[in-house]
Amino acid sequence: MTALHDLIARFARIGATDDGGVCRLAGTARDKEARDLFLHEIADRGLVPRIDAIGNLFGVAMLAPASTDVVMTGSHLDSQPTGGRYDGVFGVLAGILAVEAVRERCRANPGAARRNLAVVNWTNEEGARFQPSLTGSSVFAGALSLKDAYACSDAEGVTLGEALSAIGYCGTTPLEHNPVGYVELHVEQGDRLEQAAGDIAAVSGAWMTRKISVMFEGDYSHTGPMPMALRRDALRAAARAIEALYQEVASETAGAHASAARISVHPNSPNVVAGRVRVWFEIRHEAEAVVSAISDRFLKRIERESGEIGVGLSIAADERRAGTVLDPGGVALVLSAAADLGFKAMTFKTITGHDALAIQKSVPSSLIFVPSQGGLSHNPREFTAPAALDKGYAVLTEVLWRMVTAKA
């Protein structure tokens, strides 16, 4: 679909990096530029714009003015620092085109629509600059207070509330309608569809994730004269802990995924033994018991091993995201639509977090995947073939049509 590919290319120029990727962190000038362009696209299509207090941006198609109900679709425009051009933005842009297509179909079938339809860009899905991730969708779902969301701060001490205010996206026009369903279209960010030569995945739920931020407390000293036996090197303890996590995951042999993807070192000087280090760890698995077993064993181990070299530790944050079950009716609807369109569809759980998982807490939600070549994501080289994008768009449009016209 040419219009979809042209839109993706236009948005990819906002925050474009030299290696072909996209860096568009939440609350930055690049985020504002993407939001402004999306708002322009909403206006061009005659949709009703709405921006709520956390900056979630909606475009509403009034398909059934007598109804207060609305079906939503969308994703996010923010990216990781090493992002690609499809992650998140695909669902937003396919979403606005699908809303337009369903509206035209409703005009050709007067009286068919029983609900209204909206496309949405959720604020700070990625969590690259502000934690936690899924911020805007969590506020919308009532799982995170607006006050706490505003208070999230980046590495420079700037809060999300301040950043949104600076770019003009602390909105005052919340969505007035009653959301009765949400559908998110996304690239898989893994290789299961590709390996199975599948076209579409109807995602049934999500793995459990535990995110633990650990502070290692040693002592500062000169890297030269301080005797080795007397050093309390927090960075050494952190390094041992990172390796320990990988060892614990391997010993479990349960197929868990884990990482230590962020580290903060103080004073971060080449001539000072690090006295304070913070590391962000995470463990993911379908079964909560597996995540708990690995993480609990890991924490006990690193406390003991850090103590052996004179370094203390404390838990700065410990977030447990339970495995989520998405709307079973939505799974069946996606599979049915895909089959009717002649596409090969399958069902599995997502390993990654998505706004649909947050929205499911208050609104029945569905998540549709299309293949990611090589399973690559959060990488400038992420790629999904144009034909695969078109199939995802076709399924999304059909699902939305059935949702807004269903009698019950």
pLDDT one-digit tens code per residue, 137-189? 999 999 999 999 999 999 899 999 999 999 999 999 999 999 999 999 999 99
Tell me the CATH number at 110. 3.40.630.10
Last residue of a domain, one of 259, 287, 321: 321
Note down the domain range covering 337: 2-207+323-405
Confidence of residue 104 (pLDDT cuts 50, 70, 90): very high
Clarify whether residues 260 and 378 are in a common domain. Answer: no
Last residue of a domain, one of 288, 321, 354: 321
Clarify whether residues 300 and 345 are in a common domain. Answer: no
**Tokens standing for residue 375:** 């399973």
Confidence of residue 408 (pLDDT cuts 50, 70, 90): confident
Clarify whether residues 348 and 313 are in a common domain. Answer: no
**Tokens standing for residue 139:** 């506020």
Clarify whether residues 12 and 137 are in a common domain. Answer: yes
Clarify whether residues 164 and 117 are in a common domain. Answer: yes
Q: Which pLDDT belongs to residue 201?
A: 98
* Sign of the torsion formed by the C-alpha atoms of 96, 97, 101 and 104: positive
Q: Which pLDDT belongs to residue 18?
A: 97
DSSP string, 306-362: HHHTT-EEEEEEEEEEPPPBP-HHHHHHHHHHHHHTT--EEEEEESS--HHHHHTTT
Confidence of residue 343 (pLDDT cuts 50, 70, 90): very high
Q: What's the pTM value of the predicted model, to 2 decimals?
A: 0.91
Q: Which pLDDT belongs to residue 1?
A: 76
Confidence of residue 113 (pLDDT cuts 50, 70, 90): very high
What is the total count of domains within the chain?
2
321, pLDDT greater than 90: no
14, pLDDT greater than 90: yes
Last residue of a domain, one of 302, 321, 340: 321
Clarify whether residues 17 and 118 are in a common domain. Answer: yes
Clarify whether residues 176 and 229 are in a common domain. Answer: no
Tell me the CATH number at 249. 3.30.70.360
Q: What is the mean pLDDT of the chain?
A: 97
* Rounded Cα–Cα distance for residues 331 and 344 (Å): 14
Clarify whether residues 252 and 137 are in a common domain. Answer: no
- 213-271 pLDDT tens trace: 999 999 999 999 999 999 999 999 999 999 999 999 999 888 999 999 999 999 999 99
The helix-helix angle for 29-44 and 2-12 (nearest 10°) equals 150
Q: Which pLDDT belongs to residue 73?
A: 98
